[in-house]
Amino acid sequence: MSTKKVNVTFQPVNVTVEAEEGTSILNIALEHDIHIDHNCGGNCACTTCHVIIKKGMENLSELEDEESDMLDKAKGLTLTSRLGCQALVYGDVVVEIPKK
């Protein structure tokens, strides 16, 4: 059985890549040489991997308390903000990487 593929579009670079469902936004970006900072190495202990979901919020894993607490500290927080290393993708999404 093959794993379901999903499409992830990164902005502002405007690159769409295919990924296996259940992969984190951060890992998908890194696999395709798209730069997202990840100072804590994807351990939900920083906010540098903060991204804003433009489309497909419902296609991500649920926001956990730990991620939510950390996100509160992110600069430029929006209603559709997530931590790239914690949000797993289960359908097509459009992700904006905020400027630092």
Residues that bind ligand FES (CB under 6 A): 38-40, 42-46, 48-49, 70, 83-85
Tell me whether residue 42 or residue 98 sits nearer to ligand FES (CB atom): 42
Residue 19's alpha-carbon distances to 52, 63, 76, in angstroms, are: 18, 20, 27
Question: Which residues, 6+ apart, have CB-to-CB distance to 61 below 8 Å?
Answer: 86, 87, 88, 90
Of residues 41, 52, 60, the one with CA closest to residue 76: 52
Whether residue 12 is preceded by a cis peptide bond, meaning omega within 30 degrees of 0, is yes
Q: How far is the CB of 68 from ligand FES (least distance, A)?
A: 12
Tell me whether residue 2 or residue 99 sits nearer to ligand FES (CB atom): 99
Tell me whether residue 8 or residue 49 sits nearer to ligand FES (CB atom): 49
Q: How far is the CB of 14 from ligand FES (least distance, A)?
A: 23
Q: How far is the CB of 66 from ligand FES (least distance, A)?
A: 9
